[in-house]
Structure 1
Amino acid sequence: MHFTLRPWGSSDLSSLVRHANNAAVARNLADIFPHPYTEADGLAYIEFATSQVPGCIFAIEVAGEAVGSIALHPQTDIHRKNAELGYWLGQSFWGHGICTRAVREVVAYSFHTFDLARIFARPFGTNRASQRVLEKAGFLLEAQFSQTLFKNGEFIDEWVYGVRRETIGPGHTIAGS
């Protein structure tokens, strides 16, 4: 399935809310990603996403519609050569390889654009699909922390995956960046 990574815009509000307002999507994300996901949540997210310079938060577009998001969060202080990667995709688009390809593209773009040595992601231990996305995109499992996250009334494991600059190929660009 073809997709494009591009900046978020105000015209994405209805599709953002439609795809984000899904308990199955929210189940594997930090509590800052609410469920239910309202129009006010969408407006706040688009405002935040469009305030980042240079662009680090991208809409995942399929057939002209924003159906998910992928974001790079550069770290500061002694962690400044690292960035955290996060992503989500509307449930009806799961299983088409979109996230794996989007992760690869953002990793290449990020190493080309930013002075980073490492990009990491922290999927839940229960989220095997996200773990596979990262593994197929070249990330290596670096650590497993038992029962460190508290989500929906229960403790769950946190897994940390990382990829280093020297392990990826030439840089890519992202539409509109």
Structure 2
Amino acid sequence: MKRLLFILCSLLLLPVTAFAAGDGEKDIVERTLNFILFAGLLYYFVADPLKNFFKDRAKGIESELEKVQQKLKESKKAKENAENMLKLARENAETIVATARREATILRQKIEEGALSEIEIMNKQYEDAIEFERRRVEQAIVKEVLQELFESDALKLDKVAYSEILLKKVA
């Protein structure tokens, strides 16, 4: 329909364009009609593609803007998730450090208790060893003194007196 209207207008204005090439004094009307015809043809052929181009360009820009906004939203979500994870990691780290400190204190106490019990055991063993050595030395001295007494002529005991002394000692 639009094309048909354009063709009719062109045919009607064709004689006007023919007169546009007349003399220079009265050609303002013809030139104006030629310009209007040229502008109309230009609008007819260029307007729709130009409108479509700008519409498509606007849609393209709009879709790119939406993509960028979507990416921005995703980035904000990712940032919030990362911040939440960082917060949880810090809380976990604090918990782990506190637990490690408590465990270190407990281990230190256990080691101290174990060391003290080892020291007590060593002291007891030392005292037992001293007591054992003291008895051994006493027995050696007694044995040596008795040996000297039995071998010397200063003390002569007979077997009956010696048996009585041993019986008294045992009882």
TM-score (norm 1): 0.14
Higher helix share: 2
Flag the structure with more relative contact order, 1 or 2, with Cα contacts below 8 A and sequence separation at least 6: 1
Higher strand share: 1
TM-score (norm 2): 0.14
Larger gyration radius, structure 1 or structure 2: 2
